[in-house]
Amino acid sequence: MHKLLYSTIVLVLTGLFCLPANAGNPDRQGEAGAYELLMNPWARTAGLHTMTTAGVSGVEAMRLNIAGLARITKTQFEASHAIYIEGTGLTLNAFGFGQKVGENTVIGLSLMSVGFGDIPVTTATQPEGTGATFSPSFFNLGLGFAHMFENKVTVGVLVRSVNESIADLSASSFAIDAGVQYVTGENDQFKLGISLRNVGAPMRFSGEGLSFSAKVPKGSVSYNLTSNYRPARFELQSLLNIGASYDFLLGSQNRLTALGNFTSNAFARDQIGLGLEFAMGTRFMLRAGYKYEIGSAGAPPEEAPLYSGLSAGASLGFNTRDLDGAVKSHFAIDYAYRQTRSFGGTHNISLRLDLN
């Protein structure tokens, strides 16, 4: 009966997620905005090129598949910093918190900001700069909820606010993520995950930066009239992830996980990828992945993917125990690198604390 229930939930959610999905279309690239919704600040998932839809767990799940948030033991904190495409001056900073409430339910908070550094202010009359600087503010705040059904099926929903602004212009919206994970096998070796991300209202910029003064003729004289540009609205970066993984158990502590993932992008090419992760218990992990954009072979340089497809990462973990020898907390340091076709790649480092 339970197997029938789990299978029904997975099939129903799969059908619901696939209904609004659009096939990848390179002709639609550039039609959507809020690209920071596709940036991943977390190191564990970045080390596998954000392809762990099936097995992601904890705070990082709020950036990929919210259903994985339900697999927190009790409490988890995570902070992360990323040098995004080294050489561009962009950085990502993120913080997340997850707390178990009740037996099978977890709520979480996730926030991320993009740092642009100080950008010189230039004008038509002073193209070399006025001496002043500005820095855009890109900020996302997400609130997530996830629930586990008897350790086999987890489902979750997340609502994220999206805000972009400079001194005299701003745009805001909200996005909804939904996800499901299914675990089966004698030792829960096989995992399946599906997530629909960034479905929300279009964004449009507004503010004093869109105003301008124009002369309006009236007979032999003219007078100044303040008017506003009418900005176009833009859609969010919606996408659908479908992933699977299998754990090969090597003794009582070690494992080797093989995974695959398919991403259907509404405003870009679809992507497919594979990855491997080797773990020595919770003390040490190595991971590597490769992601390919379908149809990108032979594309001109201006349309070629930014990332080369290769990624790698590692984790070091440390446990603290109580007087009875039970694990009281777990602290981990995660690092990831993703190679780019130009510049110096993206580096991620995260600090994670689990309280049992």
Q: Can you tell me the distance from the alpha carbon of 105 to that of 128, in angstroms, rounded to the nearest whole number? A: 55
Rounded distance, CA 84 to CA 314, Å? 18
Q: Is the pLDDT of residue 155 over 70?
A: yes
d(CA 333, CA 129): 41
Question: For 218, phi and psi rounded to 5 degrees?
Answer: -145, 95
pLDDT attached to residue 19: 44
Which residues 6+ apart lie within 8 Å of 176 measured at CB? 157, 158, 159, 160, 199, 200
Instruction: Tell me if 80 sits within 8 A of 44, measured CB to CB.
Output: no
Of 57, 52, 50, nearest to 82 by C-alpha is 50
pLDDT at residue 16 tops 60: no
Q: Which residues contact 20 (CB under 8 A, 6 or more apart)?
A: 196, 199, 238
> Among 265, 307, 271, which Cα is nearest to 25's?
265
pLDDT of residue 199: 94
Tens of pLDDT, residue by residue over 286-312, are 999 999 999 888 777 777 888 989 999
Q: Of 165-169, 254-258, 320-324, which gets the smallest average pLDDT?
A: 320-324
Q: How many residues does the chain have?
A: 356
Q: pLDDT of 54-93, one tens digit each?
A: 999 999 999 999 999 999 999 999 999 999 999 999 999 9
Class of domain 2-203+237-355: mainly beta
Q: 264 falls in which pLDDT band (50, 70, 90)? A: very high
Q: What is the DSSP letter of 9?
A: H
SS3 213: strand
Please spell the DSSP secondary structure of 285-340, one letter per residue: EEEEEEEEETT-TT--GGGS-SEEEEEEEEEEEEEEE-TTS-EEEEEEEEEEEEEE
Q: Which three-class secondary structure state does DSSP give residue 265?
A: strand
Band (22; pLDDT cuts 50, 70, 90)? very low
The answer to whether residues 245 and 265 touch, using CB atoms and an 8 Å cutoff, is no
8 A C-beta contact, residue 255 and residue 249 = yes
Does residue 24 carry a pLDDT above 60?
A: no
Specify the DSSP class assigned to residue 48: T
Q: What is the pTM of this model?
A: 0.88
In this predicted structure, the answer to whether residue 2 has a pLDDT above a threshold of 70 is no
Task: pLDDT band for 320, please (50, 70, 90 cuts).
Answer: confident
Owner of token pair 């309280």? 355
Q: Residue 104: helix, strand or coil by DSSP?
A: coil
pLDDT of 146 above 60: yes
Higher-pLDDT residue of 347 and 14 is 347
Residue 284 and residue 277 in contact, taking contact as beta carbons nearer than 8 Å: no
d(CA 243, CA 4): 21
Strands (E), 201-306: 211-218, 221-228, 239-250, 254-265, 271-280, 284-293
Specify whether the CB–CB gap between 205 and 170 falls below 8 A.
Answer: yes
Contacts of 60 (CB under 8 A, 6+ apart): 42, 44, 45, 68, 78, 96
End-to-end CA distance of the chain: 32
- pLDDT band (50, 70, 90) for residue 38: very high
